[in-house]
Structure 1
Amino acid sequence: MTGLVSRTNDVECALSSVSDDTHYLRVRLRQERPIPLDVELDCGRGELLALVGPSGSGKTTILRCIAGLHRAEQGFIACDGTTWLDTGHGINLPPQRRSVGFVPQHYALFPHLTAEANVRFALGRLPRSRRAVRANELFALVNLSGLEGRNPAELSGGQQQRVALARALARDPAVLLLDEPFSAVDQVTRRKMQRELAQLRERIRLPIILVTHDLDEAVSLANRMVVLHRGRSLQAGSPAEVMSRPRDAEVARLVDQQNLFQGEVIGRRSDSDRTLLRWLGYTLEARLAPAFPAGSQVDWLVPPCSVVLHRQHRSSRGDHWNSVRGTVAEMLVLGGTAEILVRVKGTVNCDAVDLLAFSVPTRTAMRYGVAVGKPITVSLLADDLHIMPPTTRQA
């Protein structure tokens, strides 16, 4: 549906060199207050970019800057070759001249208007005779046909969200901005609407920027994600890359990686592309990390899904399995999953202790005899051990 992309050729302003799909939307923002920002991001046509980070990290402010509702102290925003903001050259298009569809967190529907009237309000650019037809097309697009005559108070949270989305699309935007769009709906509705958004993305082929606190939502929906903290963009990449290869321990904590440890690089296996890592007296194999020579103090992580439980009394299958031993410190059964915390004590020449988290199906934990206080052996998959620069130590 290429008609959803507005060209705004009548806008007389400087043009950036951005015209390809990869960098269809480019954003650079800097400010000290009211919320500090130091952000760079881009979003391609047909791509969904998720902004994740704790409350106060500037996610909503970024959307407001793109929409023209807030002006950063310094910044540049360009979309489809048109510059919307360039503080260095005095360019700052008002919201009505930016081709943006914005769905705010609480939808901001007019309570005294029907769902159809809310959508038709955004169709003022069309001849009156075309507005009803276009409104019906949009209601069909967001799976809300038949509810056009209801007021917002007569609609569920999910239905209100669909009305807000239809109204945003009524502007034929070049960019779609979604601020926590599923926060007000129950889990069943949330999952259904996430699927609908994934389908809609394929149909409208717009750059979509999604603000969310839900990491699972970002991982399942986004082509790429940006991790934000205190207004800074710390890392951008595919969800798989950011989750499994965070830039440093700060990013790892923000994406809820539990197994963060400190170690020392001791070399490289001569017969394989593996970095050797010393931890609690164990020698572990990790994914090759050529940036860290022998002797480097590093942070490292292993995702819980890459911790493999051994059967009791069964020997490990070699050093490359990164076999480590410990004692079960905690086991919490949550339905079909057992969340296990292992106290790993150092080897003979190391007195340090670390806690290692992982989960297995509850039936597996029962079959293997896992219980608090019992010894346990696990393997850490070498391909998933990720080495990072060391956390800056306070003097």
Structure 2
Amino acid sequence: MRIMRAEQFNLAREVEYGTPEQNESVRGIVEAVRTRGDEALLELTEQFDGVQLSAAQLRVTDEEINAAYDRVEPDFLDALRGASANIRAYHERQRRQSWMDVQPDGTVLGQVIRPLKRVGVYVPGGKAAYPSSVLMNVIPAQVAGVPEIVMVTPPATGGKPGIDPYILVAAAEAGVKEMYRVGGAQAVAALAYGTESIAPVDKICGPGNIFVALAKRAVFGAVDIDSLAGPSEIAVLADDTADPVYVAADLLSQAEHDEMASSILITPSERLAEEVSVEVERQLVLLPRAAIARESIDRHGAILLVDSLQAGIEVVNRMAPEHLEVLTADPMSLLGSIENAGAIFLGPYSSEPVGDYFAGPNHIIPTNGTARFSSPVNVDDFIKKSSLISYSREALLRDGAHIMTLARHEGLEGHARAIEVRLEKEAGAAAVDAAAQQTIKGKKA
């Protein structure tokens, strides 16, 4: 693994927007599904997945889900249920409540929080079939109160309509009641615009290949999307106390994702740098996905030498990595200086897979430096907020002139007059009330 000074390394990663041909292909797929519904969906499934389906076969049946339970191991089911419990408990702490503030003059200001009505979760198939991602997408939406959650996932290739049983079981355990065997850009279009068989959703979330990502970008605006995720990333900030075996293993845990994944060690220790470089080579050949990890390490991996841990933190904050491990003598003391990272793992026992699978925080995390301004998937992603304004008469009389001044400054006379007619009417009413009071006083006298 190459070792260099941090200032020699280009921290910026190229953002993947697809080739012109890929973008054109996706636009055609999206438009076909938008205009022709199920007919296009079935044609495209046969074209890209090699599977012939009827519209009646799109939806996964309860019998298929029940059969999937017989095909997964008991220890997988136990682990899945343990992870589900932890993910749910963590996200429960993120729940928000509507609120109202009643002011002394009777004005009520507040915020009404409601869940989205219908959310679509895209789950990849093939070599990128990740049951854990089902939990990470579905459970926050459930905690937010989303009443309708629908999953789409590609059918098996080679002419078979089946779906990975582990995906089906994960979805069932998470509480998904509506699942469809369709994938790719055509599935994203179906979720966005609806077909005869699949009702449209309000938001689409979940990872996928470049065609899925481009389709999500194409339909954004018609629906909301979670993000346009890039390749996975890990940065490890470590000092002399770090175990090179642990560091190397954690770097490779990301490198095996795909050839574009990025694994970076940042350290002031030349000794650790040399030992980790050797250890990466030793461990890499033992991985089943060694070819993928090798290309990732060679193309996007590096060990960056810095003058101090504080200099290392400055590199981290510029990089804004998806995952950051801090393997130092006192990792907690550095936490306050870390400004940009999607997920922060402190200490030797908080290996990145702990967060990927089981601890509870969400593993769908901003990539490509977007941790500078965005967050992991959370309950807020599945709610919407409405402002509540109930002005009292007293408040309008007090603030009306200011409102009209601002409106007229912007050239919006209609806005100003909407306030003015109220002030004039209320002033007239006040004058009538004052006259009536004077009459009553005169009679009493």
TM-score after normalising by structure 2: 0.23
Structure number with higher helix proportion: 2
Say which one has the larger Rg. 2
Which structure exhibits the higher relative contact order, with contacts defined as CA atoms closer than 8 Å and separated by 6 or more residues? 2
